[in-house]
Structure 1
Amino acid sequence: MLSAHPLLSSGAAQRPAKFFLEVHTKNIHWLRSSRRRHKNILSSPAALSAPLTTTKLAKAKGPKHAADTILECLSGVQGRGKSGLDICQLEVLNAAVDELERDGGIQAPTTSPLLEGRWKLLYTSRPGTASPIQQTFVGVQAFSVYQEIVVRESSVRVNNIVSFGDKIGQLKVEAEANTDSRPLLGFTPRKGKGLPIFGKSKTDPPVKKDMRIDFQFDRAAFDFKFLPFKVPYPVPFKLLGDETKGWIDITYLSPNGDFRLSRGNKGTLFILTRDIPAKQRLIAAVQNGADDAEVMRLLDEVVSSGGGERKPALSPRAPGRWRLQWSAQAKDANPLQKALANRVGNYQLLEDEAGPGALQNVVEVTPFLKVRAGAECEPDRTASGLDRTTVRINYARVEVFSIRIPLPFNAVAPGYIEWLYLDEELRITKGNKGSYFIHTRY
């Protein structure tokens, strides 16, 4: 079925060397008109029959500007290029792509560590020779498409992933790969154009060394969340021989490694950006002082990703010293807690330092002035999914140097911590009053 996967099968004809764009316009503001207006103008009989006036678009202001132009053009695209681009936007996009490919970005990209990682597909030019899997999945807006490039000491693997959503699962198509700097023992690159039913392959050699990744698919499977096993992808890779092979040329890799252009063996341009995990984006948002709405959006994304410990309340990763990085306080939260939230050093000690079955919240006003509350804690084994820890506060005090001053507090019914996410370094919890907390291991 596959001679080259949607993210791996591409390649393109040569384009003009100069970065000029011929556009149909009466004035420069026509370029900024709405998509609907473009469609009306371009589809009207008058527009189709009238002679085109032309104007030159100024040369791009460098690779960064060209990359930004591409991202702006793709902001309204649906199905990774299936719809949403009018003629003018497509010409602007192609001109910016030409600019980047002439620049080249990082030289010898297949030797760069910046090529490794997970990439998200934003756009494919979707030629008529696209492979069946590309036609089936890539154009569906509800799905996300990724490419993983895994670099080992002496080998490379390329994995193409179609995500059907965090609650459904994914299809993962894997390939062993060959590069100039990491040749795969016994690997023979694809030679011919292949069978038309699978899409014709280009046979052009690479323009220069260390830019091409040759590959051969060797396994694939559906991984559904609701099944305890993987479902094999119904493609007999071993029987298809050369039809499972292809290549991609890395035609541009940005200096910071977050933007990439690829062309491959089936005549398609692919535009990809580095996929930054929601967890990293959440931590960055907190550190950069993003507003609460943005932090909550990313928090929900991390929680819904389904990662982390499955039974966090019982996990050996739960104990330790955790530093509070951000909180959203409920209206009826403790007044002192609300007053000090996100303003001073705030830690939670769970078991290890606090003692077996103990929890302490420590607010460090200054190095010599602390407010400490202690509690007994234990996993709530009746809670669904074992994701709660019951908390019974038994003391509160102010500490000035070594002096401890007890604080009066009213005995209250036990509360709980609901664990929303836990891994080795990040913890997201919700209190029984509705407050949200983001901690990192300290």
Structure 2
Amino acid sequence: MALIENLNLWPPSNLQRNLALNSPPKLFNFKPSATHSIRKTLHTCRCSLVNEQQQQQASFTDQEKQLIDALIGIQGRGKSASPQQLNDVERAVQVLEGQDGEGDPTSSDLIEGRWQLMFTTRPGTASPIQAAASIKDGKRILFQFDRAAFSFKFLPFKVPYPVPFRLLGDEAKGWLDTTYLSHSGNLRISRGNKGTTFVLQKRTDPRQKLLAAISTGTGVEEAIDEFISLSKSGAKDEPVLLEGEWQMIWSSQIETDSWLENAGNGLMGSQIVKNEQMKFLVNILPGIRFSMIGKFVKSGTKTYDVTMDDAALIGGPFGYPLEMETKINMELLYNDDKIRISKGYNNILFVHLRASDGSK
């Protein structure tokens, strides 16, 4: 049985519901006719986004934030999740399912609206299929798939997708339990009849919006500028370079033809920060890694001088030293225990995700 990417639940009083595929709504869309109008609109939008971020931060409880933190860095709604990430998500889900969420969630007005699927334990099941649904009780929704269609942004209509639902019989039927619905109406956890877990959100964390831009590869620098501007409005302290293993997921510099140059400048692989040392680590071939170790010292409120000068190719227990040196003035633009935005070698922008805290 296939399942959809986004779930739309219409008012509970209507027993015929649609579970439809929809893209998240745009934050704003305007076509001003003059420069003054542009500036005024941008100012209004920026103020609106700041207020939105503050509302989002206030709308999630500490336990809900733990789940959102566990989701940060998981791409493809769960396809790229490591065993540790899956454990973190499941643990956070179980904590919330043990909390007092909205009672009888299927009868609550809070379940209405557009929900975006953020994570599922069966990420390959998403499909553009609609279903007729009805309420069984306060937590369970029964549904039966009856039609499917493809939706393209460049077309004003949907393209039918032929599926013989009548011939599928019970295979086209199922149920979905809402095991947790937040009191804010922004977070929902559901479990399906085949044991699949779903985490859905109405409002997304600002970090999730940034990572979404990176995953699509569109408007990343604009998203970074907006995110940093929003984060400054609520920041109390200057960012600090945290220890741990940090995986690079995006840079503003296109890699050169030389993998050695890319690796030595931190344009590939991961960074391991520990005990005032930094290590660049890149998997070149199966069993062969590039390693480069150096030191960093704090040179300003949010800047560090980094000197990398101990490079080698490592294969098993053996290492081949390389004569290389890289000096970097790193500026931290944003840093928390999950994501780091910095300006490094040759003023290149970097976005890193924390894979581990380095305690192991």
Instruction: Select the structure of larger CA radius of gyration.
Output: 1
Normalising by the residue count of structure 1, what TM-score does the alignment of the two structures yield?
Answer: 0.37
* Richer in helix (by share): 2
